[in-house]
């Protein structure tokens, strides 16, 4: 059986969106190496419609190892309205998310997600998110609202730490495995 792994950038004040305001100052050779390793260890990607639209508009035109890998690998996008995805190797997931995610875990191997939006939060709440890798950035972003932060009222999931990585630029990645 496969697993679903979520890798999320987060500021010290819990912001997971508006990365243009806080994330890009912390990109380094070290962080790029880990991001590429996580992508190479995955057999497929799973994303919500918002992430899909951002990625599908950015990655097909890029070059390099990361772009080649993300463009070639199978991608699953959860959407009730997308019918004809244009990005290479993309399949639309419709219907019950928990059932679809369980099927994907059985057939797609290791599935990587980026970001902690509605799809990841639903999977965590259903006990289907196997690993969570939080990339804490040493910055108080000071932007956003309730939908832009890691905290989700009512969402309860328990994890155990399986590793940490500290980079020279101050980013700390905490890798956790679900206890459910």
Low-confidence ranges of the chain (pLDDT < 50): none
Q: How far is CA 179 from CA 52, 129, 173, in A?
A: 29, 10, 19
- How many Cβ atoms sit within 10 Å of the Cβ of residue 170? 12
Domains in the chain, ordered, with CATH? Answer: 3-178 (3.40.430.10)
Nearest alpha carbon to residue 42 among 93, 113, 123, 126:
113
Look at residue 57 in the predicted model and tell me its pLDDT.
95
Look at residue 1 in the predicted model and tell me its pLDDT.
81
Look at residue 103 in the predicted model and tell me its pLDDT.
93
Look at residue 117 in the predicted model and tell me its pLDDT.
93
Which residue, chain included where needed, has tokens 């630029």?
A: 169
């Amino acid at each position: 059986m496969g697993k679903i792994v979520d890798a999320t950038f987060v500021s010290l004040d819990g912001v997971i969106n508006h990365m243009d305001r806080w994330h890009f100052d912390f990109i380094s050779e070290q962080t790029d190496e880990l991001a590429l390793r996580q992508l190479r260890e995955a057999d497929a990607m799973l994303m919500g419609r918002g992430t899909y639209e951002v990625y599908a508009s950015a990655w097909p035109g890029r070059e390099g190892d990361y772009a080649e890998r993300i463009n070639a690998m199978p991608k699953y996008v959860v959407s009730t309205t997308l019918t004809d995805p244009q990005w290479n190797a993309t399949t639309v997931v419709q219907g019950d998310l928990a059932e679809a995610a369980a099927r994907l875990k059985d057939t797609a191997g290791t599935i990587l997600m980026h970001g902690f939006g509605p799809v990841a939060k639903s999977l965590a709440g259903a006990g289907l998110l196997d690993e969570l890798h939080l990339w804490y950035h040493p910055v108080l972003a000071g932007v956003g609202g309730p939908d832009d932060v890691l905290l989700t009222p009512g969402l309860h999931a328990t994890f155990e730490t399986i590793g940490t990585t500290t980079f020279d630029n101050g980013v700390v990645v905490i890798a956790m495995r679900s206890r459910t």
